[in-house]
Structures are given as structure tokens and as C-alpha cells.
Amino acid sequence: MYVCICKAVTEHELRRAIAQGAECFEDLQARTGCATCCGCCEDEARRLLGTTLETQRREAALPIAA
Ligand code: FES
């Protein structure tokens, strides 16, 4: 699904950029170009960044199963 129509950036591309190290909104913009035109997608991109980073942190904190 497209999050940023202006730059044709999908949710998958945003999640990949976060997995590859984007840690803040400015990183996400620089890596994908999202929210660099009209800005209508900024709220959704920020929401996705926050939830994805939170998921990564929780997964990293889980103990490894024996
Ligand atoms: S929809 Fe993303 S900058 Fe316009």
C-alpha cells in the first residue's frame, strides 16, 4: 500500500528503510523521499516509524528460546 503518493513510497519500503537503520523521521525522509513534497503522508510515516521501532525494540528484548 502506498503511504506517500507524491514520491510513490510504499509501507513495505518504509519498513525496509527502518530495518536498514532509519531511526528518526529525517532518516526515513532521506532514505525514501517520503514526506518531502506536499507532506500529507507525514503523520502516517511517523506513526509507522514509531510502531515499527517499538516492535524492533520488543523483539530485541525477548529472551532466546532454548
Ligand atoms: S503524499 Fe507524501 S509528500 Fe505528498
What are the φ and ψ backbone dihedral angles of 33, each rounded to 5 degrees? 85, 0
Residue 34 domain-assigned (yes or no)? yes
Please name the amino acid found at residue 34. Answer: C
Residue 52 domain-assigned (yes or no)? yes
Q: pLDDT tens digits for 16-27?
A: 999 999 999 999
Output the ligand 1 site: residues, CB below 6 A: 4-7, 34-41
Residue 31 domain-assigned (yes or no)? yes
Q: Say if CB 48 and CB 15 are below 8 A apart.
A: yes
Q: pLDDT tens digits for 30-53?
A: 999 999 999 999 999 999 999 999
Predicted model pTM:
0.89
**Number of domains making up the chain:** 1
Residue 66 domain-assigned (yes or no)? no
Q: In this structure, what CATH number is given to the domain that contains residue 10?
A: 1.10.10.1100
Residue 45 domain-assigned (yes or no)? yes
Cell readout for 14 is 518504509
Please report the atom of ligand 1 found closest to the CA of residue 39.
3
Residue 34 is part of which domain span?
A: 2-61
Closest residue by Cα to residue 33 from 43, 21, 51, 45: 45
